[in-house]
Amino acid sequence: MQYNEKMLKHFYNPHNQGSIKNADTVGQAGNPICGDIMKIYLKIDKNIIKNIKFETMGCAAAIAASSVLTDLAKGKTIQKAALISKDDIIKEFGAVPEVKVHCSLLATEALKEAINNYQKK
């Protein structure tokens, strides 16, 4: 399996990795088949994602997808961030190995859960 240069760049130097103490909301998604687990932390102010961090236990593609997701969501309203799709993440990379497309979906699912949890408060 071949990862492209942009995926490897996000894997080796992920953006927004870590947790947020006193986050406004947290979302998590996992895939029991591959074992990847992603956790997304959000700090929201006036409906805008001011800070976003992730903790991902998984393969290079899962970590890279989490990194790209945080870049795409930061600064957006929660409504616009909820519209980010796996295709948006794949587009950022240019291409993703077919067997790793689910990693992009997991990242968006974790974000959507975080937003849903926030809206339920």
| Tokens 């990379």 belong to residue | 93
Look up 34 and say whether it is catalytic: yes
Selecting among 6, 14, 17, 34, the annotated active-site residue is 34
Look up 59 and say whether it is catalytic: no
Q: In what order do the strands lie in the sheet with 48-57?
A: 25-30, 37-45, 48-57
Q: Which two three-digit tokens encode residue 6?
A: 């942009």
Contact criterion met (CB below 8 Å) for 119 and 78:
yes
C-alpha–C-alpha distance, residues 85 and 25, integer Å:
20
Selecting among 7, 78, 96, 103, the annotated active-site residue is 103
Active site residues: 34, 103
